[in-house]
Structure 1
Amino acid sequence: MKSTEKKVIIDNLKNQIDSYNHFYLTDISGLNAADTSDLRRLCFKQDVKLVVAKNTLLRKALESSEKNTEELYDALKGNTSVMFAENGNVPAKLIKEFQKKHKKPLLKAAFVEESVYMGENQLDALIAVKSKNELIADVVALLKSPMQTVLSQLQSGGNTIHGVLETLKERE
């Protein structure tokens, strides 16, 4: 491979690393062509971009990116593929689901919400990570709950008063 081709690959990887907030380093070696195709199809359906890269080129892209990814360098051994996603927990769920049938891909490391997760044992923790929008929805629900309680109590109080007045009116 010529150095100009390598430079193009490094630049493409760097742009993807900088444009996505979440990416996973995985090992998909050992999957046959049909299984790899199934994995790519599943990634496409869930808006996850799967890219296979050479470790040296990926390391150069990580070094030149704007993100603090130095902790990921230790994971760049063996075969490495990168899963880029907009939501931090989608690739983790995808990996867990795909592993049920194929025992692969293996999670090497992940960069999610500006934090680094290392190793396969972090997969369950990554599944539990909530996206920014999910967290905002939780906060809104928490803020909305007391207000709804007060409103329902006021409405039920109004119904009670109305019922008492109706009863008094019927007595006369």
Structure 2
Amino acid sequence: MNRQEKAQIIESLNERASKASIAVVSDFKGMSVEETNVLRDKLNEVGVDYQVVKNTLARLALEGTDHEHLSEQFKENCAVALGYDDPVAAAKALADFAKTSKKFELKFASLEGKYLDEAAVKELAKMPSRPELLSSMLGTMQAVPRNFVCLFANVQRKLLWALTAIKDQQETA
């Protein structure tokens, strides 16, 4: 690999890392190309880029990004997964693959500039995804006006029942 190719890799990875909300570093030692392609396909479904890159190039690429503090941690075989929209979805996809593959393991991550160890990434993967959180919030927001309407409907209904009972009582008398 010549200098120009290395510079291209560094620039490309730096651009993507600066846009990413989460960067997860994993060990892929011993994985076959087919397994890596399966992982890439799963990650692409949730909008995550996965790239195997030399440690020195990764260190240079992460400079000037929120994930710069990871540079000191790169040792042995490393691959970087960059998630943009939903960090939980990225963590879930990687954690699920780590459960099924004996050769793949999560090392550490950076979530919007904060360091996460392997256990923290797995805990992040257990959280509900962004769409689940939004639907839960929407349900909560709709509950207040719905309960308010039901409360007033019950007041009117009880008033109607009382008036109907008075009417029936006067008709029988």
TM-score normalised by L of structure 1: 0.83
User: Secondary structure of 1:77's partner?
Assistant: coil
Distance 2:103 2:143 in 1: 42
The aligned counterpart of 2:54 is 54
Unaligned runs of 5+ in 1: none
The aligned counterpart of 1:92 is 91
What is the correspondence of 1:9-28 to structure 2 with a 5 Å cutoff? Answer: 9-28=9-28
- Whether the 8 Å contact between 2:26 and 2:106 is mirrored in structure 1 is yes
Identity %: 26
Going from structure 1 to structure 2, the CA distance change for 1:103 and 1:95 (only over 3 Å counts) comes to farther
- Is 1:8 aligned to 2:8, yes or no? yes
2:124 to 118, 123, 126: 126
| Structure 1 residue 13: Cα displacement | 0.6
The aligned counterpart of 1:159 is 157
| Structure 1 residue 137: Cα displacement | 5.7
| Structure 1 residue 145: Cα displacement | 3.6
The aligned counterpart of 1:44 is 44
| Structure 1 residue 140: Cα displacement | 5.2
Whichever of the two has the greater Rg, that structure is 2
The aligned counterpart of 2:147 is 149
Instruction: Tell me which amino acid in the other structure corresponds to 1:112.
Output: L
Q: Which runs of 4+ in 1 moved over 4 A?
A: 128-144
User: Secondary structure of 2:26's partner?
Assistant: strand
Distance 1:62 1:30 in 2: 25
Distance 1:133 1:33 in 2: 32
Instruction: Tell me which amino acid in the other structure corresponds to 2:149.
Output: L
Going from structure 1 to structure 2, the CA distance change for 1:61 and 1:130 (only over 3 Å counts) comes to farther
User: Aligned residue pairs: how many?
Assistant: 169
- Whether the 8 Å contact between 1:14 and 1:61 is mirrored in structure 2 is yes
Distance 1:159 1:37 in 2: 63
C-alpha RMSD of the superposition = 2.4
Unaligned runs of 5+ in 2: none
Going from structure 1 to structure 2, the CA distance change for 1:114 and 1:131 (only over 3 Å counts) comes to farther
**Comparing 152-161 with 69-78, which one deviates more in the overlay?**
69-78
What is the correspondence of 1:62-81 to structure 2 with a 5 Å cutoff? Answer: 62-63=62-63, 65-67=64-66, 69-81=67-79
